[in-house]
Structure 1
Amino acid sequence: MSYTLGVDIGTFETKGVLVDASGAIIAQATRSHKMLVPQPGWAEHCAETDWWGDFVYVTKALLCDSQVNSEEIAAVACSAIGPCMLPVNAAGKPLMNGVLYGVDTRAAAQITELTERIGADLIMARCGNALTSQSVGPKILWLKQQRPEIYALTAKVLSATPYLTWKLTGDYVIDHYTAANFSPLYDVNKLAWTDDLAADILPLDRLPRLAWSTEIAGHVTAQAAQETGLAVGTPVTVGTIDAAAEAVSVGVKDPGEMMMMYGSTIFMIQLTALPVRDARMWYAPWLYPGQHASMAGLATSGTLTHWFRDQFARELGEGAFGVLAREAADSPKGAKGLLCLPYFSGERTPIHDPQAVGAFFGLNLTHSRGDLFRAVLEGIASGTAHVMEVCRALGTEPVRVLAVGGGTKNAVWMQATSDIGAVPQIVAENTIGASYGDAFLAAVAVGRVLPDEISVWNPVARVVQPVAEAVYARQYPLWKRLYSQSRDVAHELGGGA
């Protein structure tokens, strides 16, 4: 058995990869799906089709394309978007669509209720995080208050990766990194579920068993084997959230190293020697015992570029992003004085404002589509720089930033991120992302490699160096002021929607 298989469920696409013992890619497969937005502020997936259906499709494709005998696969690892909230019944059947991570802001009232009832300081001390749209606990309380008929039937509440693990093994298990996002139901000091802070949200026996990401959750069942083509008894790891697997994939392994993931959202993970507790960021135990992660994420990044393409370049078809990238490159840095607030689904870190709204400011009749698209990319880059500012203020400026994801192919976006944030970005040879990290974690789980050997699997390919630009030095402070000075208007607009 000389292969490992990794599958990652993203916001818009599922990717799978099969690798050999050296990390060489034997086969890849992808499948697209849609993020469902039934009303403003909501974001959902259908677990049975978007998560499990995609897993089955890409796994079969990998086996077919590679012609590898499934008996030769040493282990399987999954990752997925998260943290999500998926209630299932006693048979493990989803009772509704999966409620997605921080881009879903439906539980704003429950966040306020729990924070006021428990106290922000106590939540931070016990959970390591303030309650935000990223927190699963308030979303479970939303379920209880707004969908009591579903709550009454709920036997377990899962996130996306635990759902896949259950489908493969029949066991309900969740990694500590994901569980830390279930605040206020997870105690980061004890690494355990807790009902001390809010016993009324959910009985703890309705949550999955806790474990570390590279532990073996179970083995492929006969039913799962029949559906996927995997061999019965294949070890399945506990898995993790996609961003964590993505960080592993590009070589984040030591304190001070940060991943910058250019995906549907920008997500940053920095390993730290000690826990970093600050309400502007997120904290979680890392994938291995004794390690820590400080995290940040924007709400709309790749999602915003997709929106822009669909609204303003749909007629360009498959080549739309290439045309938009060239037009943005032709626009001068600073987009002729145009600012974009990228808060099209509210914002997560560092402002944690679900009522923040998107905006273009400074428009005049000379602006072109290319200027608008450059402003979008520079607006996202400004959001990233805002997080970097917080890291520096906390004394945790990263020593290495490793970039990954589809956005690394966009030179304007990458350079703007380095220029505005004043940070070099390292790009590894392989930028497949989380599914490749999953395959590596599967190899770690069965003793084929050590955790620090990822740099052998995936060496550095290039570095994007920052350039000091006067136009950004002038416009970035204005970009921050634009949010602070329009915040009240945005909230009143949202309140009347």
Structure 2
Amino acid sequence: LMWMKENEPEILSKTHKYVLIEDFINFMLCGEYATDYSMASSTSLFDEKQQKWSDELIDTAGIDKDLLCDAKPSGTVIGCVHSKASQKTGLAKGTPVVLGGHDYSCGCLPTGAFVPGVILDVIGTWEMVVTSIDKPLLDMSLCNAEAVIDSHVANGKWAIMVANVAGGMTEWFKSQFAYEEIKQADDEKLSQWHYLVKNASARPVGANGVLFLPHMSGSSGPVVDPESTGAFVGLRNTHTRADMFRAVIEGINFQFLDIIDNLKTVLDKTPEKIVAIGGPTRNELWMQTKADISAKIMEIPEIDEPVTLGAAMLAGIGAGVYDDLTQAYEAVRKKVRVIEPNEKEHLKYIDIYHKYKKLYPALKGIRD
């Protein structure tokens, strides 16, 4: 909005409302302008403590407050599907339109991670580490670690989220180095990951001395340095692709532990358990390594689309199907696959983790 004010003032002068994507869809369904607290948090104009638009920030930015939609709690009914939308979509006229919320925040609901003390690990191209808290924590150490503190879709709670590239690095390694493993898997009609994971699983903890700094796209938390670069350290002519791929997975999970350690320090509380969702949860090596490195039990729910299910739970609460999130969670709760950490492997990893922590400052000195 500030950019439009400075660069496209004519367009801004004709603007009636500033709407986010889901707000626009809701408007087209029911004709009402509204947004939820979690999405309002993403605008940098929302007062997290008061959970309302910040007059101070809006005035400082020089923005017309009337451009903003009313902010309301997730799960609030804002209207009903009108005739025109019913004809276009097939949805029944009069169907309640309910506010949803931010994707990772919705993902906390069917996984039970809306309870403080539980970590939700959303793993894909990026890895988002999310935990819920009972009050907004405006701490400079979190800001310095690029942690996002948003209002949660679970009313009366807030979410802390730290993100880094994860699956994007394993995809990079596969595409650049794993031609033979891919060809063998394709010939046998197996997943292209099959032999990469199988061979790496046969290598010992610590990848025979190979360390990997997972900063191929810079680092965004808890080390914040977009100019940082990735690196393999400790390579010898006896190492194999399996060693290197295992080092990539271990490096990503060391990065995860770094985030957890930072949250533990700031919150002064040790996470009780970790719930993981996303495509890489099917990678047994990745998940077992994560459990061993963090020394935490990993729970992997049998849910195909947890974010969508979380939004559906909010719709159910708004429509009166469920009284609250606890009842909704019990109604949709799925079986979980549990991965126990190996204490002996954890002790080995702690020593390697201390070496990993030295990589960034050492390589930063070389880069600078």
The bucket for the TM-score relative to the shorter chain is: 0.7 to 0.9
Aligned to 1:487: 364
Q: What CA distance in whole angstroms lies between the structure 2 residues aligned with 1:488 and 1:220?
A: 59
**Partner of residue 156 from structure 2, selected from 268, 272, 290:** 290
Q: What CA distance in whole angstroms lies between the structure 1 residues aligned with 2:40 and 2:174?
A: 35
- TM-score, with structure 2 as normaliser: 0.83
Aligned to 1:211: 72
Aligned to 1:4: none
Q: Is the 8 A contact 1:286 1:293 kept in 2?
A: yes
Aligned AA (1:272): I
Aligned to 1:328: 200
Verify: 1:442 aligned to 2:315, yes or no. yes
**Partner of residue 264 from structure 2, selected from 386, 392, 405:** 392
Q: Displacement, 1:390?
A: 1.2
Aligned AA (2:112): G
Distance 1:171 1:326, change over 3 A: farther
Aligned to 1:161: 22
Aligned AA (2:158): H
Aligned AA (1:190): Q
SS in 2 for 1:267: strand
**Partner of residue 222 from structure 2, selected from 330, 339, 350:** 350
Alignment of 1:6-405 (within 5 A): 148-149=7-8, 152-154=10-12, 155=15, 156-183=17-44, 185-197=45-57, 199-200=60-61, 202-222=63-83, 224-278=85-139, 279=143, 280=145, 281-298=147-164, 300-313=165-178, 316=183, 319-394=191-266, 395-405=268-278
Aligned to 1:131: none
**More helix per residue:** 2
Distance 1:364 1:195, change over 3 A: farther
Aligned to 1:102: none
Aligned to 1:455: 330
| Per-residue Cα deviation, 1:378-415 (whole angstroms, up to 9, x for no partner) | 12111110011112212132223222222211111111
Distance 1:168 1:413, change over 3 A: farther
Using the aligned pairs only, state the percent identity: 30
Aligned AA (1:305): T
Q: Displacement, 1:221?
A: 4.6
Q: Displacement, 1:262?
A: 1.7
| Per-residue Cα deviation, 1:315-343 (whole angstroms, up to 9, x for no partner) | 54682123322232223222222222222
Unaligned runs of 5+ in 2: none
CA radius of gyration, larger in? 2
Aligned AA (1:416): T
Q: Is the 8 A contact 1:194 1:204 kept in 2?
A: no
Q: Displacement, 1:276?
A: 2.8
Q: Displacement, 1:229?
A: 3.4
Q: What CA distance in whole angstroms lies between the structure 1 residues aligned with 2:296 and 2:2?
A: 40
- TM-score, with structure 1 as normaliser: 0.63
Aligned to 2:300: 427
| Per-residue Cα deviation, 1:160-191 (whole angstroms, up to 9, x for no partner) | 433443454444432212222322x2211221
Aligned AA (1:402): V
Q: What CA distance in whole angstroms lies between the structure 2 residues aligned with 1:142 and 1:337?
A: 49
Q: What CA distance in whole angstroms lies between the structure 2 residues aligned with 1:400 and 1:432?
A: 21
Aligned AA (2:167): G
| Per-residue Cα deviation, 1:61-97 (whole angstroms, up to 9, x for no partner) | xxxxxxxxxxxxxxxxxxxxxxxxxxxxxxxxxxxxx
Q: Is the 8 A contact 2:100 2:153 kept in 1?
A: no
SS in 2 for 1:477: helix
Q: What CA distance in whole angstroms lies between the structure 1 residues aligned with 2:80 and 2:196?
A: 46
Distance 1:322 1:160, change over 3 A: farther
Q: Displacement, 1:219?
A: 3.3
Q: Is the 8 A contact 2:99 2:314 kept in 1?
A: no
Q: What CA distance in whole angstroms lies between the structure 1 residues aligned with 2:313 and 2:359?
A: 43
Q: Is the 8 A contact 2:213 2:232 kept in 1?
A: yes
Distance 1:373 1:222, change over 3 A: farther
Aligned to 1:406: 279
Paired residues, what number? 347
- Structure 1 vs Structure 2 CA RMSD: 2.7
SS in 1 for 2:236: coil
Q: What CA distance in whole angstroms lies between the structure 2 residues aligned with 1:370 and 1:227?
A: 53
Q: What CA distance in whole angstroms lies between the structure 2 residues aligned with 1:187 and 1:220?
A: 31
Q: Is the 8 A contact 1:250 1:455 kept in 2?
A: no
SS in 1 for 2:220: coil
Aligned AA (2:11): L
Aligned AA (1:186): F
SS in 2 for 1:366: coil
Q: Displacement, 1:159?
A: 4.1
Q: Is the 8 A contact 1:426 1:460 kept in 2?
A: no
Unaligned runs of 5+ in 1: 1-139, 493-497
Q: Is the 8 A contact 1:251 1:455 kept in 2?
A: no
Aligned to 1:467: 342
Q: Displacement, 1:241?
A: 1.4
Q: Is the 8 A contact 1:162 1:173 kept in 2?
A: yes
SS in 2 for 1:230: coil
Distance 1:309 1:211, change over 3 A: farther
Q: What CA distance in whole angstroms lies between the structure 2 residues aligned with 1:363 and 1:347?
A: 23
Q: Is the 8 A contact 1:405 1:433 kept in 2?
A: no
